[in-house]
Structure 1
């Protein structure tokens, strides 16, 4: 990207009244971070990922389980043992040699394969010795926890901007109401004056009709400003998880000091270093690398130590004659898996390519966001200056016309024109001042400025 520098204009609130407003707003931001429901959901997801990490850590530890089995059986296969066929010829020969019947005739034995009664109760200890998948799974879980923490931080940054923006919108509506109430007060004063002039037969009643029509128009604007205030109040309290009609503490005084210049290159560098979205994509790339290693490790053998201690026998009893201890090293090695692992490796490689493309796109999007927000701040500051100058001129013009009108040297239409011009100028200034604050808030968010 071409390197260019232009200066962005920020206002610093330094007067005591404006500092009080910042303190009020900072307090509301802290409340929102503590109570916002969407943020709580993000934190719950983070807690869940931390529990999954604990689960992955537990796979390194030995497992101990108790297995107990008691069975009764009848029928089934018989194991024939030809003991009679083996020994009877020899016994007969011995009986003949000794001229006796000392050696009996034996029957062939048939032993049931299933014991009529049997039990086994044991403790089994399994300790992984060589399990690469456990190690890589743990790494993946660690990275997922970090990614979820980034998601929480992203929402926090957005929430702070939303709270500030909605607060400024609320103040905008409050000042709008104050403006139109002031205008209505002037119109009512003018109405009273003209009614006296009419009573003294110095004007006709059409002038009074015109003033009443203007008052009605101002009342419509007051109603619209009141609607905006109600909506802004509800949304602001929604962000803070409060009843929607909760009263908002306000300070509508703004003071602008001298400007501070920021280089665009510095803003871009800061945003690309600190934006949590960039960190999330980087960690996503880490996970794809870890998944690649995990899938490649599945071609390696695994080795576990298995130790059994328990009791066996045809009677359900636990004595020193029935116990046993057995230790084993169990090696497992998958030699062929239908090319499934090769497909998983290919999928992980494709995921990495997709995230690399997403990373490039995200960097470009952030540059665009910062550039756009910076330009909007610059224009917004110019608008504040222009609106301020316009109010100054409109006020002077209104003062002149108002004095002439009271002296009977100006028509009501001239007075109305001057009042309308002043009202529009003051309203434009209100919008410009708060829009400027909103633009600064947005720039702070996209440039990751704390």
Structure 2
């Protein structure tokens, strides 16, 4: 590692100079920030994640509302005729008394009355009331509210996890597009060299100094380069289409190719020095929150024996014949207590189940921690390797450029063959492509390390 950094330091000047010759630099660093912001705003999958977060927030509001009184207006009307009835012997009880009173008073002030028969089903009866209920003591509501709060936290982590993944995908797609554009430029330059070689061979042939085979070889080389150029253009179109897909834009919409490779490479040199820290990953935070959520469920299950107390109050009016007066109005209030006595051992089974859920969540957290440590270390090593390969490709490109100049000069002077000049041009093209490919591999590897260490600031 130290040797690599020393080599990187000695070649940084050449590195930055070559990059400036290959790419147009501006004030931006990395992928233009507006593309990341646009992805956060428009990406369809991210919008779905945010909808899930909103649903979790609504569930939390519902859990909070369960602590408030519930008020309903209830009304009913009943009317019946026949059915069971109850006989009230009013006449049998009072008529002898009334007869005696009439005899004593020598009058008929106390008439005889009939026995009464009252049917049990009401006739023309209404009951209208405002029914209010409120929990007074219910531990399930307390734990349910806490669980919903933890669910909101989990959903928020889900949004942030996908945001980080989206940042990595946007950067990878952007670098793939830039790499394809650079490949197009390389093939176009190579095609110009091949056309010049064809022109020279035709001129030599016309002057009796060349061979027809050299002209045929030039035509074949030009066709090969044109096929490679067509393929590079298709790759650029595909990369642009995927990049625009991530941002939920039309596939043909233009993409800004300006990219400050100098500043980005300087930032990467910092990544090479620092040890990767994966502890800020939202995945770990989410798993820790999942452990706490399962512990909350366990506590809720253990509180099953705590009594539940609720109260109710009815304010209303009921009477026959739609009467509304002092006699019809009423209130009815009370409290209800619920305490479990026997449930076939189901509560103990739920407690055991929740204990296993907690244990499983903790094991998942431990496994994920170890896995993230490995992936972060692997991403760091991959970045170091790609950076070293890129530095090597710069030297190879420098050698290929020097070799091509010497061979081309010798070919024009007649000291080198046409085959040697073609080979030199092919080596130059291959070196340019390798340098271009390795450059963007460095940026992609840096984006992966950034993802594994959650170092990108998504809360700007």
| Alignment equivalent of 1:22, drawn from 24, 29, 33 | 29
CA root-mean-square deviation: 2.8
Structure 1 position 328 matched with structure 2 position 334: yes
Instruction: Check the 8 A contact 2:291/2:361 in 1, yes or no.
Output: yes
Change (3 A) 1:257 1:151: closer
Identify the residue that residue 48 of structure 1 maps to in structure 2. 55
User: Aligned pair in 2 of structure 1 residues 316, 88: CA closer, same or farther (>3 Å)?
Assistant: closer
Match of 2:295 among 289, 299, 321: 289
Secondary structure of 1:271's aligned partner: coil
2: CA distance between counterparts of 1:6 and 1:369?
23
Greater Cα offset, 298-307 or 148-157:
298-307
Contact 1:118–1:314 (CA<8 Å) still a contact in 2?
A: yes
Higher mean C-alpha displacement, 106-115 vs 422-431: 106-115
Structure 1 residue corresponding to 2:244, chosen from 223, 237, 240: 237
Q: Distance in 1 between matches of 2:82 and 2:352?
A: 54
1:247 aligns with 2:254: yes
**Alignment partners' CA distance in 2, 1:387 and 1:221:** 21
SS in 1 for 2:81: coil
Q: Distance in 2 between matches of 1:5 and 1:333?
A: 69
| Alignment partner, residue 206 of structure 1 | 213
Alpha-carbon distance in structure 2 between the residues aligned to 1:80 and 1:301: 44
In structure 2, how many angstroms separate the alpha carbons of the residues matched to 1:414 and 1:33?
53
Work out whether residues 26 and 259 of structure 2, in 8 Å CA contact, stay in contact via their aligned partners in 1: no
Distance in 1 of aligned mates of 2:191 and 2:2: 47
Total equivalences in the alignment: 443
For residues 222 and 272 of structure 2, what CA distance do their matches in structure 1 show?
46
In structure 1, list runs of 5 or more residues that go unmatched: none
Per-residue CA distance 1:335-364 (angstroms, 9 max, x = gap): 233433333222222211211111111111
Aligned runs of 1:63-212 on 2, under 5 Å?
Answer: 63-87=70-94, 107-212=114-219
The runs of 5 or more residues in structure 2 that have no matched partner are none
Q: Is the 8 A contact 1:7 1:261 kept in 2?
A: no
Paired residue for 2:372, among 366, 369, 372?
A: 366
Q: Contact 2:27–2:260 at 8 Å: present in 1 too? A: no
TM-score, normalised by the number of residues in structure 1: 0.91
Q: 1:399 to 1:240 in 2, by over 3 A?
A: same
CA distance in 2, matches of 1:6, 1:179: 32
Q: Which piece of structure 1 moves more, 335-344 or 374-383?
A: 335-344
Distance 1:253 1:335 in 2: 72
SS of 2:252's equivalent in the other structure is: coil
TM-score, scaled to structure 2: 0.89
Distance 1:341 1:5, change over 3 A: farther
For 1:449, the equivalent position in structure 2 comes to 455
SS at match of 2:261: coil
Does 2:389 match 1:383?
Answer: yes
* In 2, Cα distance between equivalents of 1:18 and 1:302: 69
**Counterpart-to-counterpart distance in 2, 1:42 and 1:5:** 43
- Spell out, residue by residue over 1:27-86, the C-alpha distance to the aligned partner (whole angstroms, 9 max, x if none): 211111111111111111111111111111111111111001111111221123333454
What secondary structure does 2:220 align onto? helix
